[in-house]
Amino acid sequence: MSNVRVLVGTRKGAFILTSDGKRKQWTVNGPHFGGWELYHLKGSPADPNRLYASQTSSWFGQVIQRSDDGGKTWSPPGTKPEDLIGPDGMPKGESNMFLYDASAETGQPLTTHQWYDGSQRPWEFKRVWHLEPSLTDPDTVYAGAEDAALFKSVDGGKSWKELARLRNARGHLWQPGAGGMCLHTIVLDRAHPDRIFVAISAAGTFRSDDAGKTWRPTNKGLVSKYELPDPDAEVGHCVHCITMHSSRPNVLFMQKHWDVLRSDDAGDSWHEISGNLPSDFGFPIAVHAHEPNTVYVVPIKSDSEHYPPDGKLRVYRSKTGGNEWEALTKGLPQQDCYVNILRDAMAVDQLDPCGLYFGTTGGQVYASADAGDSWTPIVRDLPAVLSVEAQTLK
Amino acid sequence: MVRVVLPQHLRTLARVDGEVTLDITGPATVGAVLDAVETRYPMLRGTIRDHMTQRRRPFIRFFACEQDLSHESLDAPLPATVASGVEPLLIVGAMAGG
């Protein structure tokens, strides 16, 4: 029988939750890296025991951690004794060095981006929000950074190189959202190996069809009436999350700051599918593992009231690819609930029926083993949850 | 020989208990101590000072002999008692509400 491993990043460490395929009994392991912010952990699709983690701190900066045994042990890549080379014993890896590439050959001049007040500020690395391992190579992994940039490692996270041409996509007009100017979503496409989608707050979505050599904004159809002076500007939109089903790579779903949207042409154009949602503000969006037209969101009341409408924690599911949504409430608190669910904090497994997982800023991780029909908390009292990823282990 | 006390999170990252001792070649300065720390414990590169600018991270402080050395030049000589190992150099996470 398959097992499930759920990787949870929190404000004060990482937790690994494991269960068999029934998903009824769970083992909680952690905290790993206690006291640090774990923005994201994710396993390699090509080697599920290869895990990457972004460990960060306002005090001590960014550290990348890697596990090669499914989370039992961790090391910053490139700092094990066997990684040491040279007479001075210096490591060949600099796993936490994220330097923007301003070189003439491959880089882009490191200029400025827009600040909250419309003035220009210089780019400055702060942290890694998201790690996206390659679909085929365990040693290749992408990192989405704040200030917004995309980095790539081809040596298991030992060293990183920026795919700097992304900043050429009108980077001077990008601006921070409330959480900072972060590249938070990276979507890879098994059908088009050179295609990469990224999403940035607050810049929008961008697509490369040549493995990151060139990029273009893909925001046609997005309207940000209250956030931008030009509501349908080419860039500047606060996209919170995008997702896709691997069987239908031209169909993307988006949770924007306000509005839930869909693209049927790989991001070339978008149309709204908010339909009957009680609020179309929210952070995560997910697609069912086996039904590419079944989509999940968690409505949040507003951009300043980051909690569910009416104090009721409800996941909304559309089986029609949008517009027609049903509330999923069984097992979720339906009164006095004022938590938030952050953009990277919802995931699906690959079992049948499909399992769903989400974590809250109140420290709960909820699981559904029946595609969202009913929910149970795996844990209730973790630190605020930043990210949730699910691995299905054969 | 210089004694250095790292903050708890960096001790965990470097996998050391208690204070560390380092041999410094040349004048004993904060910069020389940081060079030695980062050579011995490469996983600490970027955690105390910025990779690119080599400036102290904002929430890191350097204390010794009941003095705050955080704003001294990295090339300024350490107090003689620190340089001789009588007193440790404290690398501290700033008190910042965390």
- Map residue B59 onto helix, strand or coil: coil
pLDDT of residue A87: 54
Q: Is A369 exposed, middle or buried (0-12, 13-18, 19+ CB in 10 A)?
A: buried
Cα gap A238→A351, rounded to integer Å: 32
- Map residue A184 onto helix, strand or coil: strand
**DSSP notation for A337-381:** ------TB-EEE-SSSSPPEEEE-TTS-EEEESSTTSS-EEEES-
Cα gap A276→A279, rounded to integer Å: 8
pLDDT of residue A253: 98
pLDDT of residue A81: 62
- Fill in the DSSP letter of residue A258: B
Q: Is pLDDT larger for residue A342 or for residue B51? A: A342
How large is the average pLDDT for residues A115-124? Answer: 89
Model confidence at B98, pLDDT cuts 50, 70, 90, reads very low
Is the minimum CB–CB distance between B45 and chain A shorter than 8 Å?
Answer: yes
Q: Which tokens is A242 given? A: 């995008």
Cα gap A376→A331, rounded to integer Å: 6
CB of A146 closer than 8 Å to CB of A170: no
Determine, for residues B43 and A63 on separate chains, whether the beta-carbon distance falls below 8 Å: yes
**Percentage of residues of chain A with pLDDT beyond 90:** 89
Q: How far is B44 from chain A (nearest CA, A)?
A: 9
pLDDT of residue A169: 95
CB contacts < 8 A (A, B): 61
- Asked if residue B88 has pLDDT above 50, the reply is yes
Determine, for residues A96 and B42 on separate chains, whether the beta-carbon distance falls below 8 Å: no
For B42, other C-beta atoms within 10 Å of its C-beta total: 23
pLDDT of residue A155: 94
Tens of pLDDT, residues A4-26: 999 999 999 999 999 999 999 99
Backbone angles phi, psi at A168, to 5 degrees: -75, -15
Whether the upstream peptide bond of residue A229 has omega within 30° of 0, thus cis, is no
Cα gap A148→A110, rounded to integer Å: 12
Q: Which of A57, A88, A95 is the closest to B9 by Cβ?
A: A57
Q: How far is B42 from chain A (nearest CA, A)?
A: 7
- Asked if residue A301 has pLDDT above 70, the reply is yes
pLDDT of residue A394: 86
B10 contacts on A by Cβ (under 8 Å): 60
Backbone angles phi, psi at A389, to 5 degrees: -130, 145
Residues with Cβ < 8 Å from A300, sequence gap 6 or more? Answer: A279, A281, A282, A283, A306, A307, A308, A309, A340, A341
Q: Which of A104-113, A226-235, A289-298 has the highest mean pLDDT?
A: A289-298
Most A-contacting residue of B8, B9, B44, B92 (CB-CB within 10 A), to test interface: B9
ipTM: 0.84
A95 contacts on B by Cβ (under 8 Å): 43
- Which stretches of chain A are DSSP H helices? none
Cα gap A285→B73, rounded to integer Å: 49
Model confidence at A82, pLDDT cuts 50, 70, 90, reads low
Model confidence at A251, pLDDT cuts 50, 70, 90, reads very high
Tens of pLDDT, residues A322-339: 999 999 999 999 999 999
- Asked if residue A85 has pLDDT above 70, the reply is no
Determine, for residues A59 and B50 on separate chains, whether the beta-carbon distance falls below 8 Å: no
Q: Which of A231, A106, A253, A123 has the alpha carbon at shortest distance from A175?
A: A123
Residues with Cβ < 8 Å from B93, sequence gap 6 or more? Answer: A59, A60, B7, B9, B59, B60, B61
Determine, for residues A59 and B45 on separate chains, whether the beta-carbon distance falls below 8 Å: no
- E strands of B1-98, at which residues? 2-5, 20-22, 60-64, 67-68, 89-93
Please report the sign of the dihedral spanned by the C-alpha atoms of residue A7, residue A156, residue B53, residue A214: negative
The residue in chain B having the minimum alpha-carbon distance to the alpha carbon of residue A124 is B52
Determine, for residues B96 and A63 on separate chains, whether the beta-carbon distance falls below 8 Å: no
Q: How far is B52 from chain A (nearest CA, A)?
A: 7
Is the minimum CB–CB distance between B49 and chain A shorter than 8 Å?
Answer: no
Model confidence at B3, pLDDT cuts 50, 70, 90, reads very high
Q: Which tokens is A337 given? A: 């609930």
